[in-house]
Amino acid sequence: MKLAQERGDETKRNMRDIIFMIFLLMLSLSACSRKEMDTAEISDEMDLIENDTMPSIKKSDSSDCQNYTCLAFIDLRIIDKDGNDLLDPSSTSPNKVDLSKIDIYDVRDGAELRNYNPWSDNPRGFSISPPESTFLPYYLMTIYPDVRPDKGTITTTMTLVDWGDGRRDLFKVEFYHSPTMDIQQKVWLNDTLIWDRATSSTEPKYVMIR
């Protein structure tokens, strides 16, 4: 009887040891997995900085895009001939962009419709991102073009940027539409193709020299 009890106690101890070893093994695997993930995340961030690219996670601020995937935006870096950042508020360049004078218009059927939506995060149709929010060494202007998903599977919209200094630029954007998404396919600036999804690995970003 005593021998049977001792064997039972030994079996319980062995089971506890096995469970404890399994627990330690799981902790070790979890730590390794987390370390690998952290390394990958750091590597991805370094690639963004070194390659001067932005992750394609933005969505359009257009009122036409609601509750589904909508890629409709154009990132602009604006510099002078010497490479000075004209979007930087501290810039002393005479060509510095005055954000207060900018107006965005959707061009529909020949009419220019001023883009203003007080309920939007960016009511004037554009936004400015400082370097600390993009991990890039300059300011970035994002324009949210007209979308028009009600006009067919493939549409081309026109969005006019009035800089308030006598200069105006026209962006044309070709979209693919489906019940679940609106995806920009091509972008023209003043009738010159500046971005094509078929040949680009990022969303549209363009450097304007003024």
pLDDT of residue 34: 34
Contact 69, 166 (CB under 8 A): no
**Domain chopping of the chain, boundaries:** 1-51, 69-209
**Chain segment 48-86, per-residue pLDDT in tens:** 333 444 333 344 555 556 556 788 999 999 999 999 999
Question: Is the predicted pLDDT of residue 140 greater than 90, yes or no?
Answer: yes
Residue 152 confidence class, pLDDT cut points 50, 70, 90: confident
- R_g of the chain, CA atoms, integer Å: 27
**Pairing label, strands 74-79, 205-209:** parallel
Helix (H) or strand (E) holding 185: strand 181-189
